Chain A
Amino acid sequence: GENVEQHPSTLSVQEGDSAVIKCTYSDSASNYFPWYKQELGKRPQLIIDIRSNVGEKKDQRIAVTLNKTAKHFSLHITETQPEDSAVYFCAAPGANNLFFGTGTRLTVIP
């Protein structure tokens, strides 16, 4: 099955700086890569996703890049704000479900 690794496990940035979270996957056939944000005590919510036919996708302050050759994808958050503080999970598809990374706890320091 798919193996997803996520780094770093924790990340602290100053408000206004950028944050980058990286994930690698093992199955070269994987074609859909979502990112979820989970605030404390709440459910994971999809914030952005990318399909394998594009290399980059942006939505306001967040962007995801995909390198299929290297089998890794990254989440970029620019101009971070305190409300960006949360745990972020990447995921990649298996045959019947999504395999999630272990999560990155992002703290934005005001």
Chain B
Amino acid sequence: DSGVTQTPKHLITATGQRVTLRCSPRSGDLSVYWYQQSLDQGLQFLIQYYNGEERAKGNILERFSAQQFPDLHSELNLSSLELGDSALYFCASSPTWSSGSKNEQFFGPGTRLTVL
């Protein structure tokens, strides 16, 4: 168990709908990262938050948005869902982010999203 929690574990919805995925980082970790992993694909970095502020953006669609709250949990919002959005969505956390630190990321168990 990495200490990172994600809910829900599974989510089945229809095209055009909107869903929210939730992540709670490890105690003390300030950085949260979101990744998308489609079937048999690698880890696509979506977005990073650090202590409540957006820090970096990857290949995140405009239909997707995220935020990190004062208690450091994070939510990823996916709207106008398409079939191709079906994937595993992972959240990861790390204590901080600086060139001098180890920067190890701890992954949550993931949310499997199925869009029908």
From 80 to 98 in chain A, residues with beta carbon under 8 angstroms from any chain B beta carbon are: 89, 93-98
Would you call the interface of chain B mostly helix, strand, loop, or mixed? loop
Given contacts A94-B56, A100-B42, contact A46 B90 (CB under 8 A): no
B43 interfacial contact with A, CB 8 Å:
yes
Q: Interface size of B by Cβ–Cβ distance < 8 Å?
A: 22
**Nearest-Cβ distance from residue A84 to partner chain B, whole angstroms:** 19
Among B42, B45, B90, residue most surrounded by chain A Cβ atoms (within 10 Å):
B42
**Nearest-Cβ distance from residue B60 to partner chain A, whole angstroms:** 12
Q: Interface size of A by Cβ–Cβ distance < 8 Å?
A: 24
Given contacts A95-B56, A98-B103, A98-B105, contact A45 B48 (CB under 8 A): no
Given contacts A89-B42, A96-B97, contact A43 B108 (CB under 8 A): yes
In Å, the complex CA distance between A42 and B90 comes to 10
B107 touches A102 (CB 8 A): no
Which residue of the partner chain, among B2, B45, B109, B110, contacts A97 with CB atoms under 8 Å? B45
- Note all chain A residues with C-beta closer than 8 A to B58: 97
Interface contact tally, CB-CB below 8 A: 55
- Note all chain A residues with C-beta closer than 8 A to B110: 43
Which residue of the partner chain, among A42, A96, A101, A103, contacts B56 with CB atoms under 8 Å? A96
22 intermolecular pairs with C-beta atoms under 8 Å apart = A29-B99, A32-B103, A43-B2, A43-B108, A43-B109, A43-B110, A44-B90, A45-B2, A46-B105, A46-B106, A49-B102, A51-B102, A89-B43, A93-B103, A95-B56, A96-B97, A97-B45, A97-B48, A97-B55, A98-B45, A99-B45, A100-B43
Given contacts A29-B99, A43-B110, A96-B48, 18 further A-B contacts (CB under 8 A): A32-B103, A42-B109, A43-B109, A44-B90, A44-B107, A45-B2, A45-B107, A46-B104, A46-B105, A46-B106, A89-B42, A96-B56, A97-B33, A97-B56, A98-B33, A98-B103, A100-B42, A103-B43
